[in-house]
Structure 1
Amino acid sequence: MSVEGYRFMNNSSGTNWTGYFGTATSAPVAMVMGRSRIVIQGGEINIVSSCKRKEHIQEIQGALKAIRRIPAVTFNYIDDPSKKQTHGFIAEEVAEVFPQHVEVFVTPDDEQTLTLNQAPLLGVLWKGMQEMMKWNEELVERIQTLESIVKDL
């Protein structure tokens, strides 16, 4: 089925639909495959980020402490026949630290599962790197001071 730049195809089992967006060719600009995969070919995802669209802007506090509380894991998805290993987070563990980034999704089979908006975690990781860099700079200064004292002994 194709409609003005959108095309949907059903696999032979009838349960897995693939949607193509942006072109009617076999090399679409973007596509949605199966239940959970979005592939963008030669493109990018942009999120509105202008300060004109935000309020109550504050620097992130305690990023390293938060990062320590959320394990990064390797895993494979149970329903992925390839059993390809991937990296990421467990939504239940992220919810303990950042509940605002975890939501309940109800599948077409009425099964509830948790989803994770990973984009906001980039800000936490960025702030954590800044905290580490500052801490590293302070340690370098302390080492230089101590080396200077030892040299003068």
Structure 2
Amino acid sequence: MRAVVQRTLRSAVTSEGHECGRAGHGLTVLLGVGSDDTKDDVVYMAEKIMNLRIFEDDAGKMNRSLLDMGGDMLVVSQFTLYGDARRGRRPGFTGAAPPEMAARLYDDFVAAVRARGICVGTGVFRTEMVVSLDNHGPVTILLDSKKVF
């Protein structure tokens, strides 16, 4: 499972011209599911992202997590995080999970975050979406549940 995690002041996603998800101050997460991902990857990524200490404390240090500060999260499915562009000019996506599997694990991730009391907005799986956000910092972190990077 791969994620681009951005600390944001606000974010929103639209699908087919209608806003389907939004978040206030907190995190915007672009989430990709790999073909070899399992429920263990979901648990790892949900806990890792919710506990990332990328929000400033009173001393101005990045010491607070989303759970500490009580922020929101917008989660948008992003199979292109598994794009392999090492050869040629068109990325291949064979590392991405099949849609049915990806949808299930994406939903499991959202449920795991909601279970911790975080307000979560989402996109619409398998649609073309437009994501708008105000990246605060800017702070952007790349994560991979297999710890490839």
Tell me whether the two structures share a fold, i.e. TM-score over 0.5.
no
More helix by share: 1
Higher CA-based Rg? 1
More strand by share: 2
